[in-house]
Amino acid sequence: QVQLVESGGGLVQDGGSLRLSCAGSGRTLSNYRAGWFRQAPGKDREFVAYINWSGGSTSYADSVKDRFTISRDNAKNTVYLQMNSLKPEDTAVYYCAAGVPGNLRVGSDYRYWGQGTQVTVSS
């Protein structure tokens, strides 16, 4: 069992930056691949970014590519999402997930989820 806790969300202006953290406890997070997903009001949850066990392989949604960077520090049992050049359409609750997904872009393939952190980008 892995418990995930996100932090780092908040209110930021258009063009600003935030760094989200996802801290794992219980079983070591380094045993799992990890992803970030987000859900805006009235919309389905969507894939944002993925990182493999070592951090050597990443993948991004087209909407965030070149603006967001996913990384991990296995010594700290933490996964990060650096978000730059934020836009109002990035406003959502952001969730960290961990597991061994068959399809890294499918949320239901991840076993463990955090409670989410709100990101609001004002125009």
pLDDT tens track for 50-101 = 999 999 999 999 999 999 999 999 999 999 999 999 999 999 999 999 999 9
The reported pLDDT for the residue numbered 13 is 98
Q: Please report the pLDDT score of residue 14 as a whole number.
A: 98
Q: Dihedral (C-alpha) 39, 106, 31, 92: value to the nearest 10 degrees? A: -10
Among 7-11, 23-27, 77-81, 110-114, the minimum mean pLDDT is found in: 23-27
How large is the average pLDDT for residues 29-36? 92
Yes or no: say if 16 and 86 are a contact pair by the CB < 8 Å rule. yes
What string of H, E and C letters represents the secondary structure of 10-27?
A: EEEECCCCEEEEEEEEEC
Would you call 84 helix, strand, or coil by DSSP? coil
Confidence of residue 41 (pLDDT cuts 50, 70, 90): very high
Q: Judge whether residue 29 has pLDDT over 90.
A: no
